[in-house]
Structures are given as C-alpha cells and as structure tokens.
Amino acid sequence: MTTAHDSARRPSVLHIFKVYYPDLFGGTLTVIREICASLKDAFSSAVLVCSKSAERREIVVNDVAVERVRSFGDVLSLPAAPTYPWRLWRKIGKHDLLALHAPFPLADLVFAFGLGRGRPLVVHCHADIVTHAGMRWVVEPLMRRTLRRAEAIIVSEGVLVDTTPLLQEFADKCRIVPFGINVTKYDWSAFSADRVNDRGRLVLACGRLVPYKGFEVLIRAAVGGAFEVWIVGEGAERTRLEQLIHELGLADRVRLLGSVPDCERIKLMCIADVFVMPSVTNAETFGLVQLEAMAAGRPVVNTSFGIAVPRVARDGVEAITVSPGDAEQLGEAITTLIRDPERRRRMGMAARNRAIDRYSAAAFRQV
C-alpha cells in the first residue's frame, strides 16, 4: 500500500480552514487556491473544510481534493461542525505537512491538545481575532498552544506581527510571504471590446456581505452620486442591505449581484472604472480582493482600517484612502476618480505594475 512517505510521489500538504469553494469565495480561500496552484509541481494538495451543503462530501476543485465536513450553521462566526476535529485527526496521518489557515479554533482544539504531533505544522495567520473579540479569553490560549507547536508562522505583511500581541510572542517563527496571485488572468485589454458600461461610472466592490466589509457605507455613499455600484458576494447582511437600497431609493443605481463564477468576477474587475474596499474594522487584514482589482488595472478607493489594506494599495499612488465609516468622504473620493479619466488610467497602471512586481504568483514562488 502506498504511504504518505512514498518517495515516488510529491509530498502531500493538507490545508485546513473553515470554508472553501464552491460554497463561498473570499480572500483566504483565494490564498489557499493560489498556493495549491503555484506549488503544484512540488506538492500534492488537499483541503479539509466545513460546509452547510448537503451535496457530496468529497469533491475536486481545480484538481485539488476537498473534503467538506457537514456544518449545521455558524455560531459566533465559527462553523457548527462537531465532527470536524475528529475528521482532522483522522486525516493528519495521511499527509506529510499540515497548513493551518488561522484563525480557526476548531482546528486549534486538535493541535492544542497534542494530536497529530507526528506531522510538521505551518500556520498561515490571516487575521487577528476582531469579530466576537469577547471570546478571545477562550480562543487565544488554544491559538497560543498551536503557535507554540508550529514549525513556522506565515504572515502576508510585517505589520501584522507588529500589531498583533499574540504573534509578537512568536516573532522568531514568523516569516513574511506576500500574497501572490495569477496576474495573467486579469488582462483587462481582453475585455475592451465587451464593456457593459461605457459611461465611465461603474463602481465595483466584492466580498462577503458581513458588517465589517462596510457595504452599508458604500451604499450610503451612492446617495446623490453620479455613479453606479455593483456589489459581488453573498452573506447574512443581504436582506438588510436590500432594504437599505430600497429605503434610499437607489434600486436603479446599486445592485447586489450575489455570488458569480470566477470568470464573471474577473470580467467585472476588468470593466469596472473604480474598485472600492470600504472596510470598517481590522477584521479586514489584507484585502486580497483589492489586489485582484489592482492586477486588473483598476484604481482603488480603500479605508485606513485594515492592518495591511492601505499599505497594499497606497494613498495617492494606486488608491485614495479615506476614513472608515465616512460615507460622505467615500462618495467624494469615488466621484473624484469618476470625473478624472486620466487619473483613473494613471492610478490603474500603477496598480497593475505593483501587483505584477510585488504580489504576482511568480514573485510568490521566489520567496
């Protein structure tokens, strides 16, 4: 029987997180997908996640085996998947390396109690605990034990270590590896003959419909504006946002598009005039979706919240950075770019160049 240590095949990596495609899209999921794709020649990858879907438990996504453990919903942003720790423990021995994408307390339950010590563990730390921070006293001791056990801790930007007390305890283990995306997919010239909005006023935002994303602020920013807003994503806030759009009389200019296939999302990135990331808390650590917009050559409007967000798309270069939660200031920044095509072009080219030079998949492989 072939074992996990069979030298005739590539080493196997198990990526551990709470959700994955096709159930949801988001920054952390894109990071996992890009890691699997970028390192496919060196490693065989698998993913273990939770899912509310009643469909097949084992699927293949982009040539990567994905096992979905049944979840019965979310409790304090954590999947209610009681069998997940058991499934993780059962799978550990089948892989050569474990890659935990944190924070994910269900997995910490396994690692903190010493299970699976026979396999090396790398922790990709995507964010600090911000949402439901009152649970920190329960979760943080588990995370500390996991980080103590880890061989290495991967962060996208050094500022995350500087601003996160728990990571500061393990600074000697932290390695800075900027995110990398396949920038060749975002070739906006391919869509130049197929624009759906030729009026120069299309504003795009993408992300889960959750409070910290700040989509309510973006909707309010559209009041009195001469631009359209399209928001890609699904989530618990959808009904409330739809009601707000109706109350403000914006149904003709603000659209919630729901989840769309990757190919459609990429197309929207390339045809939009301005991309907006209106985050209102530090739960938005990096904002990978703004990096995708940069790869598509889009100028960005972001906020000063988010640990790395305004450092990825920089104020006055690739972005206009505004105060979080300020709908008036956000609307003014958007209007400034809508009214100035040359500035949009200049900032969009700077954004594209920064994505290629610092955040491409090729740059990631060289780290």
According to DSSP, the β-strands at 274-276 and 254-258 are unpaired
Cα separation, 351 vs 2, in Å, equals: 47
Instruction: Considering only the C-alpha atoms of the chain, give the largest distance between any 2 of them, rounded to a whole number of Å.
Output: 68
Picking from 286, 284, 261, 275, the residue whose alpha carbon sits closest to that of residue 352 is 275
Q: Give the pLDDT confidence score for residue 205 in this predicted structure.
A: 97
Note the pLDDT of residue 134: 58
Q: What pLDDT was estimated at residue 119?
A: 92
Q: Cβ-count burial of 363 within 10 angstroms (0-12 exposed, 13-18 middle, 19+ buried)?
A: middle
Summarised one tens digit per residue, pLDDT across range 246-262 is 999 999 999 999 988 88
Residue in this structure with the two tokens 């300020």, named with its chain if needed:
326
CATH topology of domain 12-176: Rossmann fold (3.40.50)
Amino acid occupying residue 38: S
What are the DSSP calls for 244-305, one per residue? HHHHTT-TTTEEEEE---HHHHHHHHHH-SEEE----STT-SS-HHHHHHHHTT--EEEES-
Kindly indicate the confidence band of residue 131, based on its pLDDT and cuts at 50, 70 and 90.
low
Phi and psi at residue 26, to the nearest 5°: 175, 175
Using DSSP, state whether 313 is helix, strand or coil: coil
Query: How large is the C-alpha radius of gyration of the chain?
Result: 21
The class (CATH top level) of 183-360 is: alpha beta
Q: One fold for both 12-176 and 183-360?
A: yes
Q: What band does 195 get if pLDDT is binned at 50, 70 and 90?
A: very low
Question: Where exactly are the structural domains of the chain?
Answer: 12-176, 183-360
Q: What is the pLDDT of residues 313-345, one digit of tens each?
A: 999 999 999 999 999 999 999 999 999 999 999
Integer Cα distance of 80 and 72 in angstroms = 5
Q: Which residue has the tokens 């949402």?
A: 131
Give the contacts of 315 (CB within 8 A, at least 6 positions apart).
321
133: CB partners within 8 A, 6+ apart: none
